[in-house]
Amino acid sequence: MNKDTYTNFIRNQINDDLDSGVHNSIQMRFPPEPNGYLHIGHAKSICLNFGLAKDYKGQCNLRFDDTNPAKEDIEFIDAIKADIKWLGFVWDGDIKYSSHYFDQFYECAIELINKNLAYVCFLDSDETRAYRGTLKEAGKNSPYRDTSIAENLELLAKMKAGKFSEGECVLRAKIDMNSSFMCMRDPTLYRIRFDKHHQTGNQWRIYPMYDFAHCIGDAIEGITHSLCTLEFQDNRRLYDWILENLNDFNKPSRPHQYEFSRLNLEYTVMSKRKLQKLVEDGLVSGWDDPRMPTLSGLRRRGYTATSIHDFTNRIGISKVDSMTDMAILEAAIRDDLNIKAPRTMGVINPIRVIIENYPKGKIETLKALIHPQNEAMGKRDIFFSGELYIDRADFKEVVPNKKFKRLAINKEVRLRSAYVINATTFDTDFDGNITTVYATYDPDTLGKNPEDGRKVKGVIHFVEATKALKAEFRLYNRLFTLENPGKNDHFEQLFNPQSLVTTYGVVEPNMASSKPEFAYQFEREGYFCRDKNSQVLTFNKTVNLRDIWNN
């Protein structure tokens, strides 16, 4: 690796630390909380941490920060592991859990009490809030702050033994109630929870707070560069304070925290809590709903791991919070699928076409390229007969304008990889909707232009009717109606009711063997992949062929 190629501030810091001998190698970690599914914002962190470890020939742990059993579940752990593997990363060694270090965390709490740096506090939540003060007003000391070391040790032991009820007391750090940083005003280190833990069962009745457990877990594992997002910038002071006051971890090589900007993506939310509300309120079908920004949702929609890597490279790493245009993510998948996606034809909103001069009962087998820019992918069989389906939008009774290059009465058009046809008349239902178009075909135009010099400008797709497979198409729009719904307290009210539109049409018969989570280009329509959960043949739209949102 040529380290001089990279210029973001995290790589610069790593380069400096390796050059100065602070570290001989780097040890990274990805530390998700197992309280929901990972989203595209987590992918940025995954690619960063695992990518740095790979580039610098270091290591990267997977550690579940499982310190809140009330919100955690094995389902989330399994989903997170699957997402990381899907992105192509492998964690070093065994999976780590903060719960594996509960005994060490407890010993650290005892050490802080013995140093008169922690105490058990019996203020309730409202009283604690009042004592903490505001950004403009200093806090004031808890009446329990000067409890003796011996009594605090006894109280902590009682907390651990389950002698107090939930919320009755907490263990707090003794730092500075006058600090200009709210996180330093005697933050909570331990609280009481009687929930059964997915790893330790009912062994514990007290659980460490994230800020306490996280830095110690980093130190235990020898993490060199602890990366997190900007909202934890102030908390770096607490991270340092804890490690500096623990004998085993107060050394020059201890972990240091560095913050980068989180991903904020237009028309969606980047909060597991808010995403969970969408699931619980039934606004989406689950965490892996293809409209969700979760990695499982994107995967189900047809996004590739390659496109996610490309997206994270495009947005880069910085210390500036900003809103990322959804078009950047869509461009990444579009560029990837344009190269690799097999071509096929699907008619999303079909009307029937009868070719009146085609031999009755005849079905012709034609050949079409699987990929027009990659002939090595071979050809596929398509079929042609006297009965076809075309998309409703591809026929007009009268040509509406000069730009219209599709089928109309007495106007010719070429069918993709097939013949030139000319519409003659049509049928409608009682409501005036066109049901059937009648046409003729020119048998001498297969693979070539009409011999008499007629110019046929339009090309439309089709599916032969007798062999067509019925299919459901799920078309996705933006999840919310505003670019930044997360700023609204009632963000769920901004949910886009048109975020999913379902239509029913037909596809080529070869799509019977299509694979879930594998994208195809439906020519002229977009990229689609087969839905993994549907009992019928269903295709989720991954992305349009071009960016229609900014046009």
Assigned domain for 495 exists: yes
Based on the residue annotation, tell me whether 262 is a catalytic residue of this protein: yes
pLDDT in tens, 457-479: 899 999 999 999 999 999 999 99
pLDDT in tens, 412-421: 999 999 999 9
- Give Cα separations from 403 to 376, 406, 434, 458 (angstroms): 34, 9, 22, 10
3-state helix, strand and coil shares in percent for the chain, rounded to the nearest 5: 30, 25, 45
What long-range pairs does 145-148 form, CB within 8 A, spacing at least 24? 145/119, 145/121, 145/174, 145/186, 146/119, 147/119, 147/120
Residue 83 sits in the same domain as residue 213: yes
Residues 511/475, Cβ–Cβ less than 8 Å = no
Assigned domain for 360 exists: yes
Report the run of H or E that residue 391 belongs to, with start and end: strand 387-391
Number of structural domains the chain divides into:
3
Which listed residue (54, 160, 262, 352) is catalytic? 262
With a cut of 90, say whether residue 546 has pLDDT above it: no
Based on the residue annotation, tell me whether 411 is a catalytic residue of this protein: no
Strand 27-30 versus strand 434-442 pairing type: unpaired
Assigned domain for 66 exists: yes
Specify the pLDDT at position 6: 54
Assigned domain for 43 exists: yes
Residue 75 sits in the same domain as residue 103: yes
| pLDDT average, residue stretch 149-159 | 98
Residue 520 sits in the same domain as residue 441: no
Residue 331 sits in the same domain as residue 360: no
With a cut of 80, say whether residue 548 has pLDDT above it: no
Residue 161 sits in the same domain as residue 62: yes
pLDDT in tens, 70-118: 999 999 999 999 999 999 999 999 999 999 999 999 999 999 999 999 9
Residue 280 sits in the same domain as residue 379: no
With a cut of 90, say whether residue 496 has pLDDT above it: yes
Better-scored residue on pLDDT, 402 or 534: 534
Residue 286 sits in the same domain as residue 254: no
Q: What is the CATH number of the domain that holds 317?
A: 1.10.1160.10
Residue 203 sits in the same domain as residue 100: yes
Residue 492 sits in the same domain as residue 351: no
With a cut of 90, say whether residue 547 has pLDDT above it: no
Round the CA-based radius of gyration of the chain to a whole number and report it: 31
Domain encompassing residue 444:
346-461
For residue 264, give both structure tokens. Answer: 């904020």
Give the three-state DSSP class for 54. helix
Specify the pLDDT at position 402: 81
Specify the pLDDT at position 549: 56
Q: Which of 105, 49, 98 lies closest to 77 in space, CA to CA? A: 98
DSSP calls for 440-466: EEETT-TTS--TT------EE--EETT
pLDDT in tens, 161-184: 999 999 999 999 999 999 999 999
- Give Cα separations from 355 to 84, 365, 396, 456, 535 (angstroms): 52, 16, 17, 18, 34
Residue 417 sits in the same domain as residue 512: no
Query: Quick one: pLDDT band at residue 1, thresholds 50, 70, 90?
Result: very low
Based on the residue annotation, tell me whether 525 is a catalytic residue of this protein: no
Q: Which of 393, 426, 461 is the last residue of a domain?
A: 461
Assigned domain for 320 exists: yes
Q: Which of 518, 548, 21, 12 lies closest to 301 in space, CA to CA? A: 518
Residue 389 sits in the same domain as residue 413: yes
Q: What is the CATH number of the domain that holds 394?
A: 2.40.240.10
Specify the pLDDT at position 401: 85
With a cut of 80, say whether residue 353 has pLDDT above it: yes
pLDDT in tens, 202-250: 999 999 999 999 999 999 999 999 999 999 999 999 999 999 999 999 9
For residue 136, give both structure tokens. Answer: 């403009």
Assigned domain for 49 exists: yes
Which listed residue (11, 272, 411, 414) is catalytic? 272
396 - beta bridge partners?
Answer: 408
| pLDDT average, residue stretch 265-286 | 96
Mean pLDDT for the chain overall: 95
Residue 67 sits in the same domain as residue 87: yes
Residues for the chain: how many in total?
Answer: 551
Which listed residue (33, 72, 259, 412) is catalytic? 33
Distance CA 329, CA 391 (A): 28
